[in-house]
Structure 1
Amino acid sequence: MDHPNFAVVAEDLVKVYGRGTSGVRALDHVSVGFERGRFTAIMGPSGSGKSSLLHCLAGLDTVTSGRVLVGGTDITTLSDRALTALRRDRIGFVFQSFNLLPQLTAERNITLPLDLAGRKADRLRLQLVVDVLGLADRLGHRPAELSGGQQQRVALARALVTKPDVVFADEPTGNLDSRSGAEVLSLLRASVSEFGQTVVMVTHDPEAAARADRVVLVADGRIVEDLRKPSAAALRSSRPSAGVR
């Protein structure tokens, strides 16, 4: 695998929860790379290992064996402090639950990672992200004053403003209605085309996955298919069956 071409690489990744005979192997020797400037979806049924893969790639969970490289840095060897700094500075996150601080305005929520790092926001970058995401007239609003779709836009802006190596999106449309969900997917797509961003999204939805350049299908903790620009219909016919771990 040619590492310079990839924003994130997993090499022979194993993740086991529990010990002994009661242990569950969530990831079973997974090796995969995610190209820079591309939108990749990781898809699979509940319990397939897709969320475990994302959490290990993002440094949110430890691995049992193998390694993960983000921008060429082996995050499995980092101290907790160094890993926290890397996640803050080089990884963007978009979660299903938005994870916005209710007491802060949209603008302050967007710049929060920079504030925590003691860095000033690049005003040109901030303005560009805000304009592309259509948030210019919402920056002074608090989360309670925003719709679900607008809150997810703020979360995406927060993920993009630091110019991360990769943005990980974990079921980003799960709490949204179909219209707002479609808008967020369009914005993830735009972040790739407008900013050259690398996006890795976990989803169980074939319609959402079909918006990606590439779809990695996971079942039983292994990658079972790797598809380029598949249609939603093709994904529905290719979906691994439920009933996996």
Structure 2
Amino acid sequence: METLSEPRAGLGEHVAVAHDLAKSYGRGEGAVHALRGVNAAFGRGQFTAIMGPSGSGKSTFLHCLAGLDAVTSGSVLIGDVDITRLSRSALTRLRRDRLGFVFQSFNLLPMLTAEENIRLTGRLGGRDADRQWFDSIVDALGLRGRLRHRPAELSGGQQQRVAVARALLTRPQVLFADEPTGNLDSRAGAEVLGFLRGAVDSYRQTVVMVTHDPAAAARADRVLFLADGRIVGELADPTADLVHDRMRTMEG
């Protein structure tokens, strides 16, 4: 069993913890073990990147942490709540109220404007963000002039910024991002990563991001490396070169 990966000193309490997390698909000799006893902790105001070769289990790990995929064994705590023990309806409410999601494919509703997409999650929960917080996020992401546009009228970078705004509007305990720059050009990707970094630094937002890009991982406070469903290394204060060298070693 891997040792518990701790938040950096001074970052405060854990807001998400995985304990002995396992995930398998299928049974018997043909079973695929995507996660094999993973332990990790994520502190408030910490930006963690998760990396690994294809098939390492990094996206499965993120989805289990976020309650999007059921675990085979082990536990996931969001705050003091073990989400692996929740009913389906309770888990849906927790994801809506306490977690944020940003995915590679944007996941915007095409018939809604940018503003309506941003406000959607809160309104589904019967509440709306205060105007000051909404304005702060919209202005920080440079979306003020695009609020009445529908997704088809926005660039890929603008669509992803709308998705980031939607994820942050409910002030989630953790924001999960799965390859958030995968469909973006380098300039748009840098803008999205810059805002995620700013959300950590300015709002003490906790961000957990899966990426294959060493330059993206270098924006994080630390990088966790997965291989064959296990955490096999960790890098604090990463640089793109250090991350690239570690990944080259793993893939070699």
Q: TM-score, normalised by structure 2?
A: 0.93
After TM superposition, the structure 1 stretch with the greater mean CA deviation from structure 2, 128-137 or 210-219, is 128-137
Residue identity (%): 65
Q: 1:91-138: per-residue Cα shift (whole Å, max 9, x none)?
A: 000000000001001000000001111112211111111111111111
Aligned to 1:11: 19
User: How far apart, in 2, do the equivalents of 1:111 and 1:45 lie?
Assistant: 36
SS, match of residue 137 in structure 1? helix
Aligned to 1:193: 201
Aligned to 1:241: 250
How far off its partner does 1:5 sit? 1.4
Query: 89, 97, 110: which is aligned to 1:102?
Result: 110
Counterpart amino acid of residue 250 in structure 2:
S
Aligned to 2:215: 207
Q: Confirm or deny that 1:41 pairs with 2:65.
A: no
How far off its partner does 1:87 sit? 0.4
Counterpart amino acid of residue 53 in structure 1:
F
Query: 125, 129, 143: which is aligned to 1:121?
Result: 129
Gaps of 5+ in 1: none
Q: 1:48-102: per-residue Cα shift (whole Å, max 9, x none)?
A: 0000100000000000100000112100000000000000010000000000001
Gaps of 5+ in 2: none
Q: Confirm or deny that 1:140 pairs with 2:148.
A: yes
User: How far apart, in 1, do the equivalents of 2:207 and 2:135 lie?
Assistant: 21
Aligned to 2:64: 56
SS, match of residue 250 in structure 2? coil
Q: TM-score, normalised by structure 1?
A: 0.96
Count of aligned pairs between the two proteins: 243
User: How far apart, in 2, do the equivalents of 1:208 and 1:32 lie?
Assistant: 20
After TM superposition, the structure 1 stretch with the greater mean CA deviation from structure 2, 74-83 or 178-187, is 178-187
